[in-house]
Amino acid sequence: MSGLHVGIIMDGNGRWARAQGKPRWRGHLAGVDSVRDVVRGAPDLGVTTLTLYAFSSDNWKRPRGEVGRLFWLLREYCQRERAELVENGVRLTQIGRRDRIPKSALAELKKTEQATARGRRLHLRLAIDYSARWAISEATKRLARRVEQGRLDCKAISCDTLRRAIANGVPDPDLIIRTAGEQRLSDFLLWEAAYAELYFTSVLWPDFRRGELALALSEFQQRERRFGGVLDAGDAAATAVGQ
């Protein structure tokens, strides 16, 4: 198993805290431990790109105190994990809007992006203030500006052109995992997920560790991916031998 891109919708922090009789922020704090363990374990499981849905654009609707705590956790994660990420060859980048991220958290995020820029073992992407619909609209705006500037013929715009504008060189996800039992994408990687395999688990995110990731990848390996085509008997036999 190599070269996999896995996206994870990290859900269930609040429910975990409620079940423990604790405030919601304690669930988010516990969720950071899951992030740490999954990031450490992912490369050994063949994952080279890991996209974590950390904060959606809709999450601004949450109570101000909870939102502030989430960005405090982002700042703390960047500060505390930076050296280990560098040591382990992990490159961290953020996708989504930046203009609304609190300055202190954004400063630490930028420092971590710069410090880890040479990481090649794992590309860790944090989706923060992220909306797939927003990302698609921004990509179309960039293409429109190129057309206005005479640098792109509108007739040359295709699905592949738009894909490149959205993904910025990152391969499409092979597998998207959502924890805590919900079964929807919630505006996460909508364009890129066209042929991704989906895996839903009832495990709450604070209880999700590298072992759970291994289970998801094991099931993924058993699935037959045809990308709209048909797998004939000969291909099936060859696939079986190669597994």
DSSP for 110-130, please give it. Answer: HHHHHHTTT--SEEEEEEEEE
CATH number, domain with residue 121: 3.40.1180.10
Look at residue 12 and tell me if it is in a domain.
Answer: yes
Signed CA dihedral, 206, 7, 106, 76: sign only: positive
Assigned domain for 191 exists: yes
Active-site choice (37, 59, 88, 207): 59
Domain membership of residue 67 (yes or no) is yes
Q: What pLDDT is attached to residue 225?
A: 80
Annotated catalytic residue, options 11, 129, 174, 187: 11
pLDDT of residue 152: 94
In a domain, 122, yes or no: yes
**Number of structural domains the chain divides into:** 1
Q: Is residue 78 part of a domain?
A: yes
Per-residue pLDDT of the chain (243 residues; tens, 9 = 90+): 459 999 999 999 999 999 999 999 999 999 999 999 999 999 999 999 999 999 999 999 999 999 999 999 999 999 999 999 999 999 999 999 999 999 999 999 999 999 999 999 999 999 999 999 999 999 999 999 999 999 999 999 999 999 999 999 999 999 999 999 999 999 999 999 999 999 999 999 999 999 999 999 999 999 988 777 766 655 555 544 444
What pLDDT sits at residue 243? 43
Question: Does residue 83 fall inside a structural domain?
Answer: yes
Secondary structure E strands in the chain: 4-9, 47-56, 90-95, 122-130, 175-178, 197-200
**Segments forming the whole domain that contains residue 13:** 4-131+171-223
Pairing of the two strands 47-56 and 90-95: unpaired
Strand stretches in 96-182, DSSP E: 122-130, 175-178
Q: Is 59 a catalytic residue?
A: yes
Please give the pLDDT value at position 235.
Answer: 56
Active site residue 11: yes
Predicted structure pTM score? 0.91
